[in-house]
């Protein structure tokens, strides 16, 4: 599903493509270098002592000279670790400060991200857009900074936003608002994943971030804001939709459906995946999914609606027009 062959899609903190991710990456390399130095010194000494003072055949069995206390050694092994800890703390505090207190430019895009079991609700309050599981943002450049500021909340349990190439991990905690921001400097697709165990389908709570040129982002915004037309041929499917329990959980602009338990369906077919990355979004995938969501995501909160086959076909034909 994730086309693992494409190295650009591998979520690695070692290939940052966003301002806060770069800051965290540099810090992690510094911490790794310092701790690698400690590792080499400590294990070098252990290896040396093990080899140099190993038991030999001509040992006379007597204990070597026992030495108690040494002020220079005590001072050295107290101050050196202390200095290392202070340096690591200061370097970390600097990056935390840099990431947490970043000024928000007027050109920033605002996004509210709400974690649900097991999908992501994505709202652009200033743009009037609601979508799910696939976050679209503009690319940022020094001449045209367009970071995206995220307001993170949860509708149920603790989830965690983590798109390793774009930003550090930040939890979505019930009754609390957390904040993070991303500032990607390259267009493309970046894969993220819920990073806090949140129940049965935690593993299938994927997040896709599409970074567009500003022009492409504007086009995406226009498409998302355009009302979905209903071709006459699919009107029966729309009736099926409005007459089943779909409307209790999903919202669909221009219809009576305004539920918030499940993803907004207004521009359903503009998304590449269903069930937060559980399967590819297509008319066939949609049909399989609606027939038995549990087959793809055991424990999923969406029930199988057990629609007669003809109703299901009409419903899918209608949903497939929601571009
Ligand atoms: Cu949401 Cu794990």
| CATH number where 260 lies | 2.60.40.420
Residue 104 included in any domain: no
Residue nearest to atom 1 of ligand 1 (CA): 159
Kindly give the distance from the C-alpha atom of residue 9 to the centroid of ligand 1, in angstroms, as a whole number. Answer: 20
Measured from the CB, is residue 197 less than 6 Å from ligand 1?
A: yes
Atom of ligand 1 nearest to the CA of 198: 2
- 254 found inside a domain: yes
What are the phi and psi torsion angles at 125 (to 5°)? -60, -40
297 inside domain = yes
106: region left, alpha or beta (phi > 0 left; psi from -120 to 50 alpha): alpha
Flag whether 302 is in a domain. yes
User: Residue written as tokens 């000494």?
Assistant: 45
Burial state string for 41-67 with b = 16 or more CB within 10 A and e = fewer than 16: eeeeeeeeeeeeeeeeeeeeeeeeeee
Ligand 1 centroid to 264 CA: how many Å? 19
From start to end of 159-259, where are the E strands? 159-161, 170-172, 178-182, 188-193, 206-212
Q: Is residue 159 within 6 Å of ligand 1 at its C-beta?
A: yes
130 within 8 A of 322, measured Cβ to Cβ:
no
196 Cβ below 6 A of ligand 1: yes
- Residue 44 within a domain: no
Find out whether 170 and 153 touch, Cβ atoms under 8 Å: no
- Torsion sign, CA atoms 180, 183, 186, 188: positive
Residue 95 lies in a domain: no
Give domain status of residue 46, yes or no.
no
Query: Are residues 306 and 292 in contact, defined by beta-carbon separation less than 8 angstroms?
Result: no
Under a CB-based contact definition with an 8 Å cutoff, are residues 166 and 184 in contact? yes
pTM of the entire structure? 0.86
Residue 162 vs residues 43, 109, 186: alpha-carbon distances, Å:
34, 18, 18
CA distances from 72 to 77, 124, 225 (A): 9, 62, 71
Asked whether 164 and 12 are in contact (CB, 8 A), the reply is yes
**Secondary structure (DSSP) of 167-189:** ---EEE-BT--EEEEE-BSS-EE
Cα–Cα dist 131/135, whole Å: 8
Q: What is the pLDDT of residue 1?
A: 46
Q: How far is the CA of 133 from the centre of ligand 1 (A)?
A: 12
Which domain does 274 fall in, by range?
A: 232-319
Asked whether residue 172 is domain-assigned, the answer is no
The number of distinct structural domains making up the chain is 1
N-term to C-term CA, the chain = 21
Please tell me the predicted confidence (pLDDT) of residue 4. 54
Q: What share of the chain is helix, strand, coil (3-state, %, to 5)?
A: 40, 20, 40
Return the axis-axis angle of helices 71-100 and 19-52, rounded to nearest 10°: 160
* CB 207 less than 6 A from any atom of ligand 1: no
Positions of the chain with pLDDT lower than 50, given as ranges: 1-3
What pLDDT, on the 0 to 100 scale, is given for residue 150?
96
Tell me the CA–centroid distance for residue 163 and ligand 1, in Å. 13
Residue 206 Cβ contacting ligand 1 at under 6 Å: no
């Amino acid at each position: 599903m994730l086309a693992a062959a494409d190295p650009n899609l591998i979520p690695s903190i070692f290939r940052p493509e966003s301002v806060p991710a770069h800051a965290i990456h540099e810090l992690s390399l510094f911490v790794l270098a310092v701790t690698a130095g400690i590792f080499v010194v400590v294990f070098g000494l252990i290896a040396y002592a093990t080899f140099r003072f190993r038991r030999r055949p001509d040992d006379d069995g007597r204990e070597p000279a026992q030495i108690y206390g040494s002020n220079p050694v005590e001072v050295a092994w107290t101050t050196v670790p202390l200095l290392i800890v202070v340096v690591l703390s200061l370097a970390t505090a600097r990056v935390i400060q840099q990431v947490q207190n970043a000024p928000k430019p007027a050109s920033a895009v605002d996004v509210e991200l709400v974690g649900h079991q097991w999908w992501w609700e994505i709202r652009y309050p200033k743009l009037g857009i609601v979508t799910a599981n696939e976050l679209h943002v503009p690319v940022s450049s020094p001449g045209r900074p367009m970071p995206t500021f995220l307001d993170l909340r949860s509708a149920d349990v603790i989830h965690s936003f983590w798109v390793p190439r774009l930003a550090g991990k930040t939890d979505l905690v019930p009754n609390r608002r957390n904040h993070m921001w991303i500032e990607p400097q390259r267009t493309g697709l970046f894969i993220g994943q819920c990073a806090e165990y949140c129940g049965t389908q935690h593993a299938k709570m994927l997040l896709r971030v599409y970074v567009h040129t500003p022009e492409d982002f504007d086009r995406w915004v226009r498409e998302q804001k355009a009302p979905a037309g209903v071709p006459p041929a699919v009107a029966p499917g729309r009736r099926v939709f409005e007459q089943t329990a779909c409307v209790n959980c999903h919202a669909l602009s221009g219809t009576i459906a305004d539920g918030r338990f499940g993803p907004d369906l207004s521009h359903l077919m503009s998304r590449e995946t269903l069930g937060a990355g559980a399967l590819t979004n297509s008319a066939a995938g949609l049909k399989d999914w609606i027939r038995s969501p549990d087959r793809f995501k055991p424990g999923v909160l969406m029930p199988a609606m057990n629609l007669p086959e003809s109703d299901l076909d009409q419903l899918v034909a209608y949903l497939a027009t929601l571009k």
